Structure 1
Amino acid sequence: MDQNPLVELGLPIALFVIMIGIGLTLTPRDFAREGKDPRGALVGSLGQIVVMPALGFAVAAALSLPPAIAVGLVIIAACPGGTTSNLVAYLARSNVALSIVLTVIASLVTIITLPVAANLALRWQPTASDVPVEVPVLRTIGLLLAIVLLPVLIGMAIRARWPQRAVALERAVSLFGGLVLAALIVAIAVSLGGEVVTMLADAGPATVLLNIVGIGVGMAMLWLVGLPFGSRLACGIELGIKNATLGILIAVNVIGSEEMAVPSAVYGLLMYVTAVAVVFYGRRRQARVVRSTAPRSG
């Protein structure tokens, strides 16, 4: 299977721009506010970094996925949330500050944990590639530093210097991120040709299950530590809404397998269905709270 030059060259550039969008949403106050009660950040990060990859392995094993799809599912499970998770948290009227903090923490820690998870998956499924493949940890760390850490810092610097311009830029970057993801899905589907129907059939149920379980686990973890509904919902969103472009980047640009990118592409598409449901649920729940606390006339 030939590599798609548009995906191979354009994806890192597009992801760099998208990660600037995350930085545009951040100020030092966001970290200070969540730092006063770090339970949400600590438990949510544990869920994102440890629990979600473990769920990826569990779902892949339970459904007996083909090797390449199994490895790809672990990769998307190990990916952090992206700008989409922050947008969904806002629309669902949950704790947006916590969502942003979890996104940034996971994005930075992912520099180490994502290549580790990918390597574990490749050792678990050695037939996933035509030739023996191991994710080069140092190369991947360097790639993620350049495409995750640097643009986030650039975005924060822009917001600090030009806060009003940052708001407009962040909206444009969010739209750009959605368009990039759609383009990537189409590009990979075209490259896979006749294989795409089988791949989608193999990856679809697994990605939906991982997505729904991730949302539920995220909410349950923060419920166990006694945090309010807004924080619980934000954590669920963060674990369920993934940075699918990063998963595609690792599969295509690092491992060199478009088959392994299919779960990330499918996840990136289907997660919007559950995102709409979560937004509807969060807004209805918040509306009920407002009605119940509103003073009654007469």
Structure 2
Amino acid sequence: MDSALATTALPIALAIIMFGLGLSLVPADFARVVRHPKAVAVALVCQLLVLPAAAFGLVVAFDLSPVLAVGMMLLAASPGGTTANLFSHLFRGDVALNVTLTAVNSVIAVVTLPVITNAAIAHFDPAEGGTLGLQFGKVLQIFAIVLVPVAIGMWVRGTRPGFAARMDRPVRIGSAAVLALVVIGTVVAERDNVGDYLADIGIMVLVFCLLSLSVGYVVPRIIGVTQRQSIACSMEIGIHNSTLAITIAVSLLDSTAIAVPAAVYGVLMFPVAALFGWAITRRREDAAQPGAEDSVSEPVERR
């Protein structure tokens, strides 16, 4: 991929997306974890532990090449994407829970993502890039392009709430456009190998997407989390921040091949999430049960 795109455009694009996330956050989104820990804890366990384990199992079962295997683990370690909020809203999930999960998981991912990615690199030992890995300096770069823009966005939200409200829709549209451009750029850069990559990982990425959405919905329901909260968990866990995974692969690991699983996932996750959301909301018997409409959210208008 063109060096200017890899070193400048992708990090800037991701920073803008994370700034947009910050515009939608208030300190109460973090405090809500303490007041309503159950749904948050279940979702984070699924996101941080179950999904990487599932991705590793799929990688081994499908016998992926080392480079693509690292890419899958990087994808699995990435936090939920901001678009999960929109899908949760469409299918009557608890949007405030999505915002909380995205905020908390983005902070935690600054630590867990490098750990999981480096463990995958050490285990699968991809041939390309000899010194491949996320060293401390690169971890600081992840911090800079993830948490700093979020903090700035939150500051703007606190000091200029009117501006933050006006920017909500443009930033969401821009984020979707950025993801599309990032996916297209990755595919173009690997155009000579796209056919082989799709043959290698297309089915597996689809399985992983369905598994992510299913785990995010079924596990919370088993634990006793409400329908709305479970829908929110499903969308949060199933819709990954593919832009973050691609940016790290291309900009910090200098490998478009490692970015391919995230690019393929970025194409598949929206239609699959839409179909999955439609399927789990066809029957609304749970809504009639006592407590089914409980929510971790406070009655605060966020949009």
Gaps of 5+ in 1: 291-298
Q: Which amino acid aligns with 1:73?
A: M
Matched residue type, 1:41: V
**1:234 and 2:245 matched:** no
Displacement of 1:109: 0.8
Counterparts of 1:129 and 1:100 in 2: how far apart (Å)? 39
Residues 23 and 152 of structure 1 are in contact (CA less than 8 Å); yes or no, is this contact kept in structure 2? yes
Partner of 2:278: 280
| Residue 97 in structure 1 maps to residue 96 in structure 2 | yes
Q: CA deviation at 1:223?
A: 1.8
Q: Structure 2: which amino acid aligns with 1:234?
A: A
1:148 CA displacement: 1.0
- Relative to the length of structure 2, the TM-score reads 0.89
Aligned-CA RMSD value = 2.2
* Closer/same/farther in 2, CA of residues 155 and 285 from structure 1, 3 Å limit: farther
Given that 2:227 and 2:286 are in contact with CA atoms closer than 8 Å, whether structure 1 keeps it comes out as no
Please identify which structure carries the higher helix content. 1
Q: Secondary structure at the match of 2:93?
A: coil
Give 1:59's aligned residue.
58
CA distance in 2, matches of 1:82, 1:226: 25
- Give the Cα separation in 2 of the matches to 1:157 and 1:287: 41
Aligned equivalents of 2:6 and 2:174: distance in 1? 15
Q: Secondary structure at the match of 1:208?
A: helix
1:212-235 Cα offsets, whole Å, 9 max, x none, are 111111222212321101111111
Q: 1:7: how far off?
A: 3.4
Shift, 1:137, TM fit = 3.4
Q: Secondary structure at the match of 1:82?
A: coil
* Counterpart residue identity of residue 271, structure 1: M
Give unpaired runs (5+ residues) of structure 2.
Answer: 289-303
Alignment match, 2:292: none
Q: Could you tell me the TM-score, scaled by structure 1's length?
A: 0.91
Q: Percent identity?
A: 36
Matched ranges for 1:1-298 at <5 A: 3-126=2-125, 128-281=126-279, 284-285=282-283, 289=287
CA contact (8 A) 1:92 1:281 kept: no
Indicate conservation of the 8 Å contact 1:122/1:133, yes or no. no
Q: How far apart, CA to CA, are the structure 2 residues paired with 1:68 and 1:213? A: 22
Equivalences, count: 291
Provide closer, same or farther for how the CA distance between residues 138 and 185 of structure 1 changes in structure 2, counting only shifts above 3 A: same
* 8 Å contact from structure 2 (residues 25, 103) kept in 1: no
In the TM superposition, what is the alpha-carbon distance from 1:196 to its structure 2 partner?
1.3
Shift, 1:162, TM fit: 2.1
Deviations 1:134-174 (A, max 9, x none): 42331232112111111111111122222232122121111
